[in-house]
Structure 1
Amino acid sequence: MAPDQSPQKHIIDEATLHVTSIFQKTGEHAVTDHTADADEEVLGALGYKQEFKRSVDRGFVRPSTTDRASDFTWIESFAVSFSVLGLLPSVASTLGYNLGYSGQAGSVWGWIVAAVMIQSVVFGMAELCSSMPTAGGLYYASAVLAPDGWGPFASWCVGWSNFLGFSTGPCSVNYALAAMILAAAEISNPDYVPQTWHLYLVFLFLLVIQGLLAMNATKILGYINIVGTIANLAVLVIFLIWLPAGSINRPRSRFNDNHTVWVDIQNGTEWPTGWAFIMGFLTVIWTMSGYDTPFHLSEECSNANIAGPRAIIMTGQLGMYLGFAIILVIAYTVRDVTDVVAGAYGQPMASLCVQVLGKNPGLAMFALNIVAQFFVGQGCTIASSRVVFAYSRDGAIPGSRWWSKVNARTRTPVNSVWFVLAIGALLGLLMFASPVAIGAVFSIGAIAQYIAFTTPLALKLFFAGDKFKPGPWNLGRWSSPVGAVAVAWLLVIVPALCFPAVKGKDLNDLTMNYTCLIYGGTMLFALLYYALSARKWFKGPRVNVEHLIYTDAVESAGSVSDNVDRVPEKV
């Protein structure tokens, strides 16, 4: 008889890899038929096969993987994240909220308060990423950290909230970009009167272009986003220099006085000034919401449990400081807040640039902002598709078998790319209802993302106990205090983002804040779907790597280390 030619089995012991794994709840171990490299081993310990392209330039290599293209390095992962953050374009998209609700002083102090509080979420997320570097990210973390029996429900809610936040991203970013393009056309040709259908067609065109780019291989996407990051940083630097210089050189322009910028909070709402100040946080919250992208790209990134947290922290910190510089420049140079918030062009940044720099220089500065905004939409499309892929892999979204497919040529989730863009196209129809209705996608994205960001931190803080295994990057004794601040921050911002600017007789169907209706309606659908169907079959993250639990299988399989715990036989 010929000798057994079956490959040697290797057990991946998650207990030795500093990961918080779903296997901790089942007592199982992942098994491979080859010697995995460090990144594949960590991913296997979390229960997933390596499906995306990832570099193989260190450790042991499967012969069949030698043709794989390069993965994201930590700097490329940061580049995608910073592109999604898109500081100047993101501030431009939501400038009407902080200036309109609380004026220059409210914008400055609002950024300081909100950005500092957001760092608690940034650092807490980085710690989770180091422990669970998988594309499912927060959804996976919620399943593992929830109390026994509640894992599937927790991951379902977080997954749907994160899915909703990301799926509204391409819509909100490209709606703002389309509005910017038409505003630029209106500045250059005063006789042009943009129509809503013009706006929607430009919006659709942008979605298609970004889809064609986002369906490429990981290596190409890395290059695109490095270009996007360089473009965003270059435009930001030009803005920070040009606007103050232009303000000094234009007659009767000059800078605003310190009292206006730092003391005089102008209430642009019908609510008390303190609450109007908090409502103005929307600009900061929506702008500072792309730093989770490295988490979702971790399956395409080398050394993910270190590179991912590093990219998250770098994005959050740079976002805080550079964003404050943008807000400070705007506060000192804006002359007429009302004209900026409700100006003739329908786009606050367009009005600001023309007001401070004049028509032609202002148009040039605004055009640079449009270029930067395009790369924000591109990064957002990439990140959104990875979230959809991760949740579809576990059957959490209707049509999951389509959205979880990885293209055989590019080794990227092409179907997921077009799915999120189709959602964006449908949401864009809200622009035909009213500006307030389409504007709700900004608040929806902010609420959905921060609920998804903070829920696993709350589960870790109150329920996880010793189930959480810190990764190589961790907060140590500061982990619990940071998590507590993040949870408190969420409790403040959720109600604030749902308030309309007016009340009483001024509140009507055109001035109402529809965030509660759209976000609440979608999450109600998700909860009903879970109660009526998903609770019977959805078990949280679906392990797709070979795994075992039986003692005899363990004894015969071998191990990647000498200290693999023997698992008791399942009865």
Structure 2
Amino acid sequence: MEPVLQQRTEDELPVNHDEKVLLSLGYKQEFKREFSLWSAFCVSFAVLGLLPSFASTLFYGMGSAGTAGMIWGWIIAMVFIQCVALSLAELCSSMPTSGGLYYASAVLAPPGWGPVAAWATGWSSWIGQVTAAPSVNYAVAAMILAVLSIADPNFESKNYQLFLLATFLMIVQSCLSSMPTKWIAVFNSLGSSFNMVAVIVVIILIPTAAVTDPKFRPTHQVWSDIENGTDFPNGIAILMSFTGAMWAMSGFDAPFHLSEECAVADVASPRAIVLTSAIGGMFGWVLQVVVAYTVIDIEAVFESDLGQPWATYLLQVLPMKTGLAALALTIIAGFSMGQGCMVAASRVTYAYARDGCFPMSKYWAKVNKVTKTPVNAVWFNCLVGVLLCCLIFAGQVTVLAIFSVGAIACFVAFAIPISLRVFVVGSRFRRGPWHLGHFGKPVGVAAVGFVALMVPILCLPTNTGGSLNSSNMNWTSLVYGAPMLVALLWFAVDAHKWFKGPKVNAKHAMIGQVIKELEGQAEIY
């Protein structure tokens, strides 16, 4: 008989339900479960940071295919991104651990392939997580310096100023991310609420306060005119515009990594994943439409001396003070987003270090005795993030690669366990209380197909032929490919000898194994 998990209603669950679920996965409870559905959603929504995400990746949407590419590209991308989120939520309900994707790949892989599947997933996921905060803080620092340039036309920002400011933001966020779980939950709830309010305010503010004449562009022009900013055909340009949506939405997996700190995690965490993706996708598209209807000169937005397209756009359509107010909202929301990224990344680092994936893992896997949070992992990620910020000195094109790297790394990590669940495990998959039923496989196939298509697209440069050079090439394949190649070579040469997948501290009960809880609350047959 296929394994089936008999679930009871939430009211009937014993107090230690989460501990029992975690034990069935092979882990003992170490964190305090002080996250609720709302607070887990708040962290992931803060990681999404729709307003700063859109502001940071405006180049990819409007710059690749104009306003038509922005609008249609977001719609098409979100259909498949939602498929990824739904498939991920199903995995989360089945295996609510901090290791998340990495644990799922190890369990779902064919016999003998678990370690290499976990290793590849873990490193790709970690690269995506650890690049998130530096990319956000780079964009926020650029916005802050743009404000200074607006206030003082004689001020010209330097790369070292951008680096120091981004580093300072990361240090402050690391301090906040080292707090006890309860404090982090409160802070991220406030930050996420601010993000929601800021998006709504800007969506209303731009069309009502715009001073351009005419105020809106013609509808047929907005929806049908593709202003191709690449050397590729229009279809490829629209696919390249998906980068913004993929990077902006890549944080919806945060509840998965926080599941060991969430109450009733096998239900609350997958719900938080789906809510984040759905609500984020809806608000993100509305923001795309508002900007598409109000932008005046697309070329001027990307060629301004301010060096920040979002700031240039706001001053193009709004009065000076109103534009600065909208930019200030974006900066504050961006800081909150960066802090949420630090929290999520620290949990991923902790989970992988717990299983010995990193050099000196024993230090990064420690839980602070006072805060009951992985403080060492927070500061390890901070150090790596500061080193990534050094790409600023290599030029804007190079540092922008961390945006597409984040999209590729996260979605590759999403796709590996989803593909194993769909194409390898099949009907033997032990579903959790939140699942897609018969739609699980087709939704998973769509998710994996989308990622397979987009990985090479995200590596394409905007220029081709004689116009392609070192200053405008896409460095994504190097920034992502090099560390992944090193990690895989490390596994082939040495790590395969000692790395056997997640180091569980109790016998897990997945894929046909049998477990009976003493109280009879959860049984797998």
Q: Distance in 1 between matches of 2:397 and 2:360?
A: 31
How big is the shift at 1:562? 9.6
* Cα offset, 1:358, TM superposition: 2.5
Say which of 22, 26, 30 aligns to 1:47: 26
CA shift in 2, pair 1:563/1:200, >3 Å: closer
Name the CA distance, whole Å, in 2 between partners of 1:363 and 1:342. 19
Unaligned runs of 5+ in 1: 1-13, 19-34, 55-70, 549-553, 567-571
Q: Distance in 1 between matches of 2:522 and 2:271?
A: 30
1:490 aligns with 2:451: yes
Check whether the contact 1:183–1:347 (CA below 8 A) recurs between aligned residues: yes
Kept in 2, the 8 Å contact 1:99–1:341? The answer is: no
- Larger gyration radius, structure 1 or structure 2: 1
Letter in 2 for 1:76: S
Amino acid at match of 2:518: S
* Alignment partner, residue 298 of structure 1: 259
Q: 1:252: Cα distance to partner? A: 2.0
- The amino acid that maps onto 2:413 is A
3-state SS, counterpart of residue 290 of structure 1: helix
Tell me by how many angstroms 1:360 deviates: 2.0
Deviations 1:325-351 (A, max 9, x none): 000000001101111122221111101
Shift in Å, 1:324? 0.6
How far does the alpha carbon of each residue in 1:304-342 deviate from its partner, in whole angstroms, 9 at most, with x for none? 000001101110100111111000000001101111122
> RMSD between aligned alpha carbons?
2.0
2:57 partner SS: helix
Query: Where do residues 5-44 of structure 1 align in structure 2 (5 Å cutoff)?
Result: 16=5, 37-44=16-23
Q: Which amino acid in the other structure matches residue 95 of structure 1?
A: L
Q: Residue 545 of structure 1: CA displacement?
A: 3.4
- Once residues 16 and 329 of structure 1 are traced to their aligned partners in structure 2, the CA distance between those partners, rounded to angstroms, is 46
| Aligned with residue 530 of structure 1, among 484, 491, 496 | 491
Distance 2:524 2:344 in 1: 37
Question: Do the aligned partners of residues 16 and 123 (structure 1) sit closer, same or farther apart at CA in structure 2, a change above 3 Å counting?
Answer: closer
Q: Which residue of 2 aligns with 1:74?
A: 37
* Cα-to-partner distance string for 1:384-439 (whole Å, 9 max, x where unaligned): 00000000111112221111000000000000001111111001101101111100
Q: Within 2, Cα distance between the matches of 1:420 and 1:111? A: 31
- TM-score (norm. length: structure 1): 0.87
- Among residues 362, 366, 371, which one is paired with 1:401 in the alignment? 362
1:452 to 413, 422, 435: 413
Map 1:163-312 onto structure 2 (within 5 A). 163-247=126-210, 250-312=211-273
Q: What residue identity is the alignment partner of 2:466?
A: K
Q: Distance in 2 between matches of 1:170 and 1:279?
A: 23
| Counterpart code for 2:126 | F
Please give the secondary structure, in 2, of the residue aligned with 1:180. Answer: helix
User: Structure 1 pair 36/358, CA: closer, same or farther in 2 (3 Å)?
Assistant: closer
Contact 2:136 / 2:337 at 8 angstroms: preserved in 1?
yes
CA distance in 2 between partners of 1:564 and 1:208 (Å): 46
Residue 561 of structure 1: how far off its partner (Å): 3.1
Matched, 1:561 2:520: yes
In structure 2, what is the equivalent of residue 363 of structure 1? Answer: 324
Distance 1:111 1:358, change over 3 A: same
Find the counterpart in structure 1 of residue 399 from structure 2.
Answer: 438
| Residue number in structure 1 paired with 2:478 | 517
Superimposed CA distance per residue, residues 59-103 of structure 1 (whole angstroms, 9 cap, x where no aligned partner): xxxxxxxxxxxx101100000000001111101000011111100
SS in 1 for 2:400: helix
Separation in structure 1 between the aligned mates of residue 6 and residue 74 of structure 2, nearest angstrom: 39
Q: Which amino acid aligns with 2:70?
A: S
Structure with the larger RCO, 1 or 2 (CA within 8 Å, 6+ apart): 2
Change in CA separation of 1:565 and 1:200 when aligned onto 2, cut-off 3 Å? closer
Contact in 1 for aligned 2:24/2:508 (Cα 8 Å) = no
Give the structure 1 partner of residue 463 of structure 2. 502
CA contact (8 A) 1:187 1:359 kept: no
The worse-fitting range, judged by mean Cα deviation, of 253-262 and 493-502 is: 253-262
Give 1:545's match in structure 2, choosing from 497, 506, 510: 506
**Which amino acid letter does the alignment assign opposite residue 46 of structure 1?**
L
Match of 1:381 in 2: 342
1:189: Cα distance to partner?
1.3
Cα distance in 1 for residues equivalent to 2:488 and 2:60: 31
- 1:115-126 correspondence runs (5 A): 115-126=78-89
Q: 1:260 Cα deviation (Å)? A: 1.5
For residues 95 and 326 of structure 1, what CA distance do their matches in structure 2 show? 11
Contact 1:391 1:397 (C-alpha < 8 Å) held by counterparts: yes
Cα distance, 1:563–1:82 mapped onto 2, change above 3 Å:
closer
Distance 2:347 2:521 in 1: 36
Tell me how far apart the structure 2 counterparts of residues 163 and 473 of structure 1 sit (CA, whole Å): 26
Q: Given the alignment, which residue of 85, 106, 111 partners 1:148?
A: 111
Distance 1:105 1:396 in 2: 44
Gaps of 5+ in 2: 8-13
Q: Check whether the contact 1:96–1:340 (CA below 8 A) recurs between aligned residues.
A: no
Provide closer, same or farther for how the CA distance between residues 336 and 459 of structure 1 changes in structure 2, counting only shifts above 3 A: same
1:352 aligned onto 2:313: yes
Equivalent position amino acid for 2:92 in 1 = C
Aligned residue among 27, 46, 57 for 1:94 = 57
Check conservation: 1:253, 1:335, Cα contact below 8 A.
no
SS class of match (2:494): helix
Q: Percent identity at matched positions?
A: 48
- CA contact under 8 A between 2:135 and 2:402: conserved in structure 1? yes
| Separation of aligned partners in 1, 2:212 and 2:234 | 33
Deviation at 1:191, TM superposition (A): 1.2
Counterpart in the other structure of 1:343? 304
Match of 1:478 among 430, 436, 439: 439
- TM-score using structure 2 length: 0.95
Number of matched pairs? 514
CA distance in structure 2 between the partners assigned to 1:154 and 1:282 by the alignment: 25
Q: In 2, are the aligned partners of 1:133 and 1:295 still within 8 Å (CA)?
A: yes
